[in-house]
Structure 1
Amino acid sequence: MLRSLQLHSTHRIILTLILSSLLFPFSSILSIHGYPTRANIFIYAGCSQEKYQPNSPFETNLNSFLSSVISSSSQTIYNSFVIGNDSSAASEGSIFGLYQCRGDLQPIDCSKCVARLVNQIGLVCPYTLGAYLQLDGCYIRYEHSDDFLGKVDTSIRYKKCSNTASSDTEFFRRRDDVFAYLESANGFRVSSSGLVQGFAQCFGDLTVSDCTSCIADAVGKLKSLCGPAAAADVFLGQCYARYWASGYYDESGPSHDDQVGKSVAIIVGVFAGLAILVILLSICKKSMG
C-alpha cells in the first residue's frame, strides 16, 4: 500500500542531494503552443510502507531497473521492465516498473527529466518496496508485484484549480471543444480552441479503450471539481488532463502538493549547503593536520 512521501535526513541522502544538485540542475522547457512548463517541477509522490534491506537482491535489481530507465529514456518516452522474476513464482528481488515522459518532450529533455526522477525517488521513498514519483514532464513507478500494470486506476493523485474563474460563455464553449477532442485521446493529445488550450496523456501500459476511458474520467473530474476555473490540472492513477486560458494559468493558487514540492526544494537546499560545509571543514582539517 503506497502512502504519501516522508522525508528522511541521513548521510546517504545528503551525499545524493549534492550529486543531484551538481549533475542535474533545474531547467525550463517551452512547449505546447507557448505553454510554459518546467519539466522537473515536483507534482506528487507515493511510497509503500514495506521496506527492503540494504545490499539485498531487491536493492541490486532496483539499481538495475533505474539504470535501465536512464538508458532507455534517451531512445523512447515510455518503457516497462521486469527484473528478477522467476517464471514459476515471484522471487525475493523481483521488480516491475515503468517510466513515461510527456509526449511533447524531445528525447534529450525526456532523458534529463528521467535522470531527475531517478535521483529523487530514493530520496523521497528511501528503501521502499514500491514507489512512484510524478514530475511535470515525466513519471516513474516500481513495485515488488505486477498488480498495477495494465489496470485502470482513476483515483485522484493530484488536482489544482486556478483561483481565477471565468463567467464568459465563449470561454466555456471553447473549453468544452478542447475537452471533446482530448476525450478521444490514445496516448498523448494536444488541443486548442481560441484562447483555450489543453493536453492529456495516459500511461503506455493501458489499452486503447482503457486509455480513452481514463482520460474521459479525468476530463469529467476537471469539470466537476474545478467548475469555472480558468485553468486546472488533474492527475489520476494512470492518466492526466490539463487546460488553461491564455494569460491565466500562472495565476493558479498554491495547493497542498505545491507546498510539498516547495518543502522538498527547501530541504534539498539546506542539506546540500550543510553537507558542502562539512566537506570543506573536513578538507581544511586534513590540510592543517
Structure 2
Amino acid sequence: MLPTFNCKGTMKIGCSKLVLFFCFALIHLLIPTAAQRPLNRCYNTGNYTSNSTYRENLDSLLTTMFNNSKIDYGFYNLSAGESPDKVYLIALCRGDNSPSECRSCINGSRYELLKACPYQKEAIIWGETCSLRYSYRSIFNIMEASTVTYRINGANFSDVEAFNSVLRPLLDSLRNRAASGNSTHKFALQSTPAPKFKTVYSLAECTPDLSELDCNRCLQRVQNIIPQCCDGRQGAKFVTPSCDLRYELHPFYDSSAEPPPLSPPPPPLVPSESPPPDLPTTTPGKESNSSRTVIIVVVTTISSAVLIISISICIYLRARNKENKAEIDTDDQISVVECLQFDFGKIRIATQNFSNANKLGEGGFGPVYKGRFPNGQEIAVKRLSKNSSQGEIEFKNEVMLVARLQHRHLVRLLGFCLEGDERLLVYEFLPNASLDCFIFDPIKRAQLNWEKRYKIIGGIARGLLYLHEDSQLRIIHRDLKASNILLDAYMNPKISDFGMARLFQIDQTQGNTNRIVGTYGYMPPEYVLHGQFSVKSDVFSFGILVLEMVTGQKNHTICGENNGEGLLNYAWKKWKDGTTSNLVDPTLRTDSTIEMMKCIHIGLLCVQENVVNRPTMASVVLMLNSESMTLSIPSRPAFVTDSHTRSSMETTPSRSSPVQASVNNVSITELDPR
C-alpha cells in the first residue's frame, strides 16, 4: 500500500503536490519503463515437449554459454546436438557493457525467454542491454530484419522538423560507424545538441557476424520505419534479430563510453623575433662559413650511408619474403590445417567402403560419396581419382582456401584426408544436390518458383561479395556455374568447388595466367583471349548464371525460336527488340515480372565486354535489394557473334600456351600453386 499524508490549513495544496510527487516517484521505481521491460518474440515455426531431446540440447546450450568465458567479449554463438534436434544460439551484449553487466543481463534473459516462450523451437528476447536468441536452424551470418519490433517513449517534440534535422544526420553517422566495425564489435553511440536546449542520445548496433553491407542494410531498414511510426517522437527503441537502434532525450548509457571529440588543431607556430637565450649565436665570418661547410659534409655523408643501408635491407627482406612465400606454397603448407585432418579408416567406414550405393556422382576431381559418421552427421566425400593429373593441385588449393572461408552461402569444408596415395575432401552434405539438377530439368524446374530462384540469385551474389570483399582473403572463384552451386534442405545456395580459385592480395585488382581453365560459356573474353582475370571475371559468370535462372536454359543453347542460338545473343536481341519478357521460363509466366526484368537487366550489365562497365558484386547486391535504384543501360555484351565466328573463336586460341576448357559441366583444372 502506498503511504498517505494528512495535510491541514494553508499547506494543503502544497502537500497535495508533494504527495503526488512521491506517488509518481514510487510508481516509477516499482513499475519498469517501456524501455526497461524486455521485448520478446516467440516464432510459430515448431514446438518441442518438456522432456524432448531438443529441450535437453537447449538447456545444455544455455548452461554452457553462460559458463563460457568467451561471453565476456559481448558476442557468442554456438550450437548443440544433431539434426533434427540441433539447437543454434546467439547472445549479444550492448557494446558499452562491462563483462559483469553482460553476464547479468544474459543470465536474466535466458530465464525470461524460457518463461515467455516455453515450448517454441525458435525465440528471441531483447533485454535492456543484451539479446538472446535460439533456433532449430542455423542463424549465424544471416541478416534478418523483415520484422521490426519497436517501442515509443515520450511525447512528440514541439518542433518536429527541427528535431528531425538533428536526428537524421546523427542516425546516418551511427549506422555507418556501426557497420564499419569488426567481427567482434559492430556498435556505435553518440549524443548531439537538439533544439530547445535538449540533447538527443542515440545508439546503433548489429550482430558482429554480419558483413558491413548487411549491417548497413539492416539499420537502414529500421531507420526507414521512423517516419511511418514515430515521426517527431522524443524517443523510440527498434529491435530486429540482426540489429537494433534507439534514441532518447535522456542519457540511457554511460556518456563516458562516447567517442572523444576531435582534438583541436595545434596553434600555428610563430617565429621568434630573437633566438632563444640558451642557444649560442655566431656572427658572419670565415669561422661560421667553415663550420657550416663541415656540418653539410657530415650530414650528407651520414644520410648517404643510411640510404644505402636502408636500400640493402629492403632488397634483402624482399628476397627473404619471396623465399618464404615459395616455402609456404610447397606441400608443407597443408600442415597449417592439420587440425582438420580425418583418419582414412573413419571415412571408409562412414561411406561403407566407398560403395556404389553411396556414390553421388563424379566430376573432374573424382567420385563423390555420401557418408554418415557414428554421431549421425551426414557428409559428402570427394575422392581423388588415381588417374587424375590435375586433382593433386586442386586438392591442395581447395584445402588451403575453403578451410579459411566461413559463410552461409559457401559450402563448408569439414576436413580432409591425406594418407598414402589417398586424397579425400570431406564436406557438409547438401541433400538437394546442385542447381543444374533443377534449373535445366524440364520436370524439376517447376519446383523452383520465382521466389525461390530470386532467393538463390541473391544468395549467390552475397557469397561472391564475401569472397571478393568481406572475407580475410580476396578470392576469385574462376569456375562459377550452375553445377557448382549446391542447395541445402531449404534450397539455400552454397558456392562449391574452389579447385580453380585464385588468391588475390587485398589491393590487387588483376592477375594473369598462362593456362586458361574453366567452362566455356561462363568465361569472360579477356580471360579466354589474354589470360587476364579479376573479380569482374566472376561477375561475368554470375551474369550468365542469372540469365540461366530466368530463362531455365543453358548458356550455349536456347530453345524455341532460333533454336541453337547462344543465350547471350538471344537475350541481347530480345532486349533490343523490347520483347525481354519472351526470355522468361514458361513455368514462371504467372509470377511477378518486375523482378524478372530487373534480373535480366542486371545479367546483361554483368556480361559487358568492357571489364570496366561490369558492376562489382557489391553493386549487384545493392541492385537486387533496392526497389528504387536506377540501373544503367547495358551495351552489346561479350561474345555476341554468329555461330561460325563463335566456333572458330573457341577452337583457335590467340595465345601460344594451351587453352584447356570444357563445354560441358566437367571443369578442367590447370594452375600453379600460389
- TM-score (ref. length: structure 1): 0.64
The answer for the alignment partner of 1:176 in structure 2 is 168
Name the SS for the 1:199 alignment partner: strand
Contact 1:182 1:215 in 2 (8 A): no
How far 1:49 sits from its partner (Å)? 5.1
The answer for the alignment partner of 1:265 in structure 2 is none
CA–CA separation in structure 2 for the residues paired with 1:49 and 1:210: 24
Specify the code of the residue in structure 1 equivalent to 2:201.
Q
- 1:214 alignment partner, one of 202, 211, 218: 218
The answer for the alignment partner of 1:226 in structure 2 is 230
How far 1:115 sits from its partner (Å)? 0.4
How far 1:247 sits from its partner (Å)? 8.7
Higher relative contact order (CA 8 A, sep 6+): 1
The answer for the alignment partner of 2:128 in structure 1 is 136
How far 1:37 sits from its partner (Å)? 8.8
| Alpha-carbon distance change, 94 to 168 in structure 1, aligned in 2, over 3 angstroms | closer
Map 1:64-213 onto structure 2 (within 5 A).
Answer: 64-72=60-68, 74-85=71-82, 91-146=83-138, 148-161=139-152, 162-167=154-159, 169-184=161-176, 185-186=178-179, 187-194=186-193, 195-213=199-217
Percent pairwise identity: 22
- 1:60 alignment partner, one of 56, 62, 71: 56
How far 1:169 sits from its partner (Å)? 4.9
| Alpha-carbon distance change, 197 to 39 in structure 1, aligned in 2, over 3 angstroms | closer
CA–CA separation in structure 1 for the residues paired with 2:50 and 2:160: 57
Where in structure 2 are there 5+ consecutive unaligned residues? Answer: 1-28, 180-185, 194-198, 253-674
Cα shift readout 1:74-119 (whole Å, capped 9, x = no counterpart): 522111112113xxxxx23211111111111111011001000111
Report the more deviating stretch, 66-75 or 126-135: 66-75
CA–CA separation in structure 2 for the residues paired with 1:113 and 1:48: 25
Contact 2:40 2:113 in 1 (8 A): no
The answer for the alignment partner of 1:51 in structure 2 is 47
How far 1:190 sits from its partner (Å)? 0.3
Q: How many residues align?
A: 208
| Alpha-carbon distance change, 120 to 174 in structure 1, aligned in 2, over 3 angstroms | same
Contact 2:42 2:120 in 1 (8 A): no
| Alpha-carbon distance change, 226 to 115 in structure 1, aligned in 2, over 3 angstroms | same
Answer with 1 or 2: which has the greater Rg: 2
Report the more deviating stretch, 73-82 or 181-190: 73-82
CA–CA separation in structure 2 for the residues paired with 1:207 and 1:65: 26
| Alpha-carbon distance change, 157 to 189 in structure 1, aligned in 2, over 3 angstroms | same
| Alpha-carbon distance change, 160 to 179 in structure 1, aligned in 2, over 3 angstroms | same
| Alpha-carbon distance change, 129 to 107 in structure 1, aligned in 2, over 3 angstroms | same
Q: Is structure 2 residue 244 aligned with structure 1 residue 240? A: yes
CA–CA separation in structure 1 for the residues paired with 2:144 and 2:234: 27
Where in structure 1 are there 5+ consecutive unaligned residues? Answer: 1-27, 29-35, 86-90, 249-289
Contact 1:189 1:199 in 2 (8 A): yes
How far 1:211 sits from its partner (Å)? 0.7
- TM-score (ref. length: structure 2): 0.29
CA–CA separation in structure 2 for the residues paired with 1:173 and 1:234: 20
Specify the code of the residue in structure 2 equivalent to 1:174.
V
Cα shift readout 1:6-55 (whole Å, capped 9, x = no counterpart): xxxxxxxxxxxxxxxxxxxxxx9xxxxxxx99996312322435222333
CA–CA separation in structure 1 for the residues paired with 2:36 and 2:157: 27
CA–CA separation in structure 1 for the residues paired with 2:238 and 2:218: 12
Cα shift readout 1:236-257 (whole Å, capped 9, x = no counterpart): 2311111122499xxxxxxxxx
CA–CA separation in structure 2 for the residues paired with 1:84 and 1:39: 35
Contact 1:222 1:233 in 2 (8 A): no
CA–CA separation in structure 2 for the residues paired with 1:144 and 1:245: 39
Name the SS for the 2:120 alignment partner: coil
Specify the code of the residue in structure 2 equivalent to 1:232.
A
How far 1:170 sits from its partner (Å)? 4.1
Contact 1:40 1:135 in 2 (8 A): yes
| Alpha-carbon distance change, 246 to 66 in structure 1, aligned in 2, over 3 angstroms | closer
| Alpha-carbon distance change, 160 to 54 in structure 1, aligned in 2, over 3 angstroms | closer
Report the more deviating stretch, 168-177 or 114-123: 168-177
How far 1:219 sits from its partner (Å)? 1.7
How far 1:136 sits from its partner (Å)? 1.7
CA RMSD of aligned residues (A): 2.7
The answer for the alignment partner of 2:611 in structure 1 is none
CA–CA separation in structure 2 for the residues paired with 1:121 and 1:167: 39
Specify the code of the residue in structure 2 equivalent to 1:66.
L
Name the SS for the 2:142 alignment partner: coil
Contact 2:40 2:116 in 1 (8 A): no
Whichever structure has more strand as a proportion of its residues is: 1
